Structure 1
C-alpha cells in the first residue's frame, strides 16, 4: 500500500468476515425429545379414538371364571356342626285363638319324636291355645303338650308328624368349661334356622327366667345357667346350645338386655343363658313318663333379708314352714336355723337365688358337699338331695 491509502476495514485481514452461527446441540436434543413426546401422545389418542366402542362399553371385559374346588367343610367346623344339627331344630308358634297375643320360640327333636322347648314358649297353649311346629324342611304340623315344668322353664311337646326328622344328640353339661366354643341354633325374631357362635363365658350363673310379662301366675324358674356370648335373641328360647361335636349342652332360655319397653325388647348384648342339658335330660324324662317333674330340695327356708356373706337359714318359721325340716336333707345333716351356708360343692355362694338355682339343678338322691358357718365356726356336711313326694303338676 502506498502513501495516501486509507487503512483496511476491520476484519478484512486474514480472509473473509465471521459467518452467523446455527442452534446449539443441546437445543436440538431438547426439541427432538419434545417432538417425540407429542407424537407419542397424539398416537395414543388416535389409537383410543379409533378403537373406542361407540356405546362406552367394553365387550371384551371379563373378571375371569368363578373359582372351582371342593366346598366340603370339616366335620368339627361351625359349618360342619350346623349342617348336622339344623335338621333336628324346629320353630314353634303358639297362639290363643286371637290376633293380639302369641308366642314364638325354638325347640329340638329327641328320642321317639318328642320336642324339648321352654315352658314360657308353650304356656299359652296350656290355656287353650294351639302349637304349630315348623321343621327345618319348612313342613309344618300341630303339636300337643306332653308336660311342662315352670320351675325349670322346660316343657316337652309331641308333634303330630316328624317328617323323618333325625333326633339330636345330647351331651354332658358337667363336662363344659369356660372358654369352650358353642353354637346357638334357633329362630331369633322369627328368622328360622339361624346359627350363631361364641364361647361359654361363665358357669353356674343364677338366673330367674320364665314369663316376664307380669301377667303369669306361675312360679318363676330358678336356673343355674350356662352363660354364653353367642348371640341369643327373642325367639331363640327353647333352641339348643351345642358344643364343637354337635352335642346339646344347654337349652337357650334367657338373655340379658340393656333396656326394655312395653312394645319391644332390645337384642343380644353378648349375655345369653342356657339350662344345662343334664337337668334338661332329667326333667324331660320325668315329664314324658309321669307328666310332671320332681322338685329337688334340701329342706330349708332361706332368710331373704340377710345381706352378709353366704346364705343364711331363716331364724323363724315362714309360710307355715320351719326354718329347717328335721326330716329333710339339711336337718338330717345337722343344720339349724341361723346357720350360714357358705359353699356348695366348692362354689362360694353370693345369695339365696344362687343356692335355690344350684339345688334345683341337681338330681334327686345326688350328694352335695356344703360348707357352713355357726357361731363364727366353719363346718362341713354332706347332703343327699331330696324331692317333693307329690309335686303338683302344672295344668297341661
Structure 2
C-alpha cells in the first residue's frame, strides 16, 4: 500500500541515474547503463515517460466515469508511443522493460470519451503538474483492457551562473581566510606537537660569536666616546676612543681644532655608559690630523692598536662612532684600497693641511665619525676614520658617505700619539726637497726655483747627501711608482725619522737608485 508521500513522479534516464543497475539494462562503453535497442520503436521524447500496466486476471467492471473530465487524462498514443513498449515504473521499485505485445489494443480512452482511465489499486498516477494518490479501485477499463498512464516529468530547478559563480568565489575566500586564521591560532600547538623549541617571551640576550660583527661591536663600543666642542665660534662634534686606561683618548685634530687657544671653549666627552667628563688637550698635530685628550678617569678599557702594515685589500672592517651625533653607530665594509694619498682637515693660516697615506674603506663614514676607530675582525684598531670623498672630488666631512672613506693607519697613530703624550708635539720624516706642483710628466720633479725663500734642495739635507739635485725626477719609492707629489709626501710621512728609503731617480737621460736616510721635522 503506497502513501501520498510515495506517490511522486519518478523520472528515469540512464545518464542521470547511472548508479542504478536494474534488470534488463545494459552498460554502455562510457559506463552508462542503457536499454536494449528497439529497432521498430523511435525514441520517446524525454519530457514524458509512459507506464503500461498489464491487465489483471479477473476482469472487473469499469468504474463509473466522473461527472467532469479529470485534468491530465491520457491522450491517444501516437505512432511514436506504441502501446506496450513503455517503462513500468512503480514508485520505489526498480524500473523494468515490458516488451511490446501485439495482442494489446490501443488505448480505448480518447478525447471522445471525455473521461480518464480508471486508476488501479496500488499504483499512483500523475495529473498535469500534480501527483495523485493511489486509488484502491479496479485496475482495468470497462472492457478489461489494460490502460496507460502518462507520467509528466517535473522540471528541475537550477541556479543560474550569475548566482553560482559569486557563491563559489565567496566560499573559496571564506575557506582561505579560515585556513589562515586556523593556522595562526594553532601554530604554537603544531610546533609543540612537532617537538620544535619555542623561544619564550622576554628571553635573555643570545650570545654572539666573538668574530661576528655583533661580537666585535660588543667588545669595541664601551671604549668608543662621543666628543662635543663648544666655543665662541660654535660647536663641533666627533668621535674618539680610549687609548690608555689612565684617561688618554685619541681623536682627529680637526674635531678639536677650534678649541685651541680659546679659554672659553669646553670639550665634553660622553662614554658608552652615558657618563660625561670634561677633557683637556694633551697634544695635537695638523700634519697627521691627530690629537690626544685627557680625562680624569682611571680604569678605562683601551682598544688595542693593530698592525696596519699587515692589512690587505678585501679584509673585513667595522667603523664605530657617532655620525651626525648618533652615538654607538656601527657600520661594516671591507678595505677597498691601501696607500691612498689623502689630504684631511682644512688648511688655515696657522695649520697646513694634513697628508695621509690612508686606508680606503667602503664602510659608511659620515660627519661625526671623525676620530672613531676602524677595527678589523679581531677587534683591533687598524685606523682612525678621518675623511670621506665627496663629488666632484673634494675631500671633507661635510657631506655624507658615498662608499669612499679614509682612515689614518694605526701604525702612524701609535708613533704620533706616543710623541704627543711624551712631549706634547710630534715630528714627521723629511728628505729635504721642494717639489714642483706644475710638473705633468712621469714621476714627480724636484723644483728648480726658490719657493718662499726656501731652496729647492735643503743644504746638507738627506736628499743632497744622497746626490739628488734640482730638476731631478723621482720615479718610485721603495719600488712603488709615484705619479703625483702628494703620493711621494704621504709615502715618506708614513715612515719613521731615521728610516732609510730607496728612491729611483732620473737625472737627464740616466736613471739610478739612491738610498736616503730620513731626517725629522717638528709638526705644526
Q: How far apart, CA to CA, are the structure 2 residues paired with 1:323 and 1:216?
A: 23
> What's the TM-score, normalizing by structure 2?
0.62
Matches within 5 A, 1:101-120: 101-111=234-244, 112-120=246-254
Structure 2: segments with no counterpart, 5+ residues:
1-76, 84-102, 108-147, 192-197
1:163-210 residue CA offsets vs partner (Å, 9 max, x unmatched):
x43110110000011111111100000000100000111111111111
> What's the TM-score, normalizing by structure 1?
0.82
Instruction: Select the residue among 220, 224, 230 that pairs with 1:85.
Output: 220
1:306 is aligned to 439
Q: How far apart, CA to CA, are the structure 2 residues paired with 1:71 and 1:23?
A: 77
- State yes or no: 1:140 paired with 2:230: no
1:294-322 residue CA offsets vs partner (Å, 9 max, x unmatched):
12101111011111111100112222222
1:376 is aligned to 509
Shift of residue 22, structure 1, vs aligned partner: 6.0
2:9 is aligned to none
Shift of residue 63, structure 1, vs aligned partner: 6.4
Aligned 8 A contact 2:247 2:296 in 1: no
Q: How far apart, CA to CA, are the structure 2 residues paired with 1:120 and 1:274?
A: 14
Q: How far apart, CA to CA, are the structure 1 residues paired with 2:206 and 2:400?
A: 33
Instruction: Select the residue among 423, 426, 429 that pairs with 1:296.
Output: 429
- State yes or no: 1:355 paired with 2:445: no
1:225-276 residue CA offsets vs partner (Å, 9 max, x unmatched):
1110000000000001111101000010011123799xx9321000101001
Aligned 8 A contact 1:87 1:165 in 2: no
| Structure showing greater relative contact order (alpha-carbon pairs closer than 8 Å, 6 or more residues apart) | 1
Structure 1: segments with no counterpart, 5+ residues:
1-8
Q: How far apart, CA to CA, are the structure 2 residues paired with 1:132 and 1:63?
A: 52
Q: How far apart, CA to CA, are the structure 2 residues paired with 1:333 and 1:309?
A: 21
1:267 is aligned to 400
1:155 is aligned to 291
Structure 1 residues 256, 250: CA separation in 2 closer, same or farther (over 3 Å shift)? same
Larger radius of gyration: 2
Aligned 8 A contact 1:109 1:166 in 2: yes
2:387 is aligned to 254
Structure 1 residues 346, 15: CA separation in 2 closer, same or farther (over 3 Å shift)? farther
SS at match of 2:150: coil
1:84-137 residue CA offsets vs partner (Å, 9 max, x unmatched):
1111111100111x4x61111111111232101000111122122111000011
SS at match of 2:221: helix
Q: How far apart, CA to CA, are the structure 1 residues paired with 2:401 and 2:408?
A: 17
SS at match of 2:282: strand
Q: How far apart, CA to CA, are the structure 2 residues paired with 1:349 and 1:16?
A: 125
- State yes or no: 1:14 paired with 2:150: no
2:414 is aligned to 281
Matches within 5 A, 1:1-396: 14-15=104-105, 17=107, 20=150, 61=185, 64=188, 67=199, 71-96=206-231, 98=232, 101-111=234-244, 112-128=246-262, 129-161=265-297, 164-211=299-346, 217-258=350-391, 265-388=398-521, 391=522, 394=524
Structure 1 residues 258, 63: CA separation in 2 closer, same or farther (over 3 Å shift)? farther
Query: Higher helix proportion, which one?
Result: 1
Q: How far apart, CA to CA, are the structure 2 residues paired with 1:62 and 1:282?
A: 64
SS at match of 1:169: coil
Q: How far apart, CA to CA, are the structure 1 residues paired with 2:266 and 2:398?
A: 24
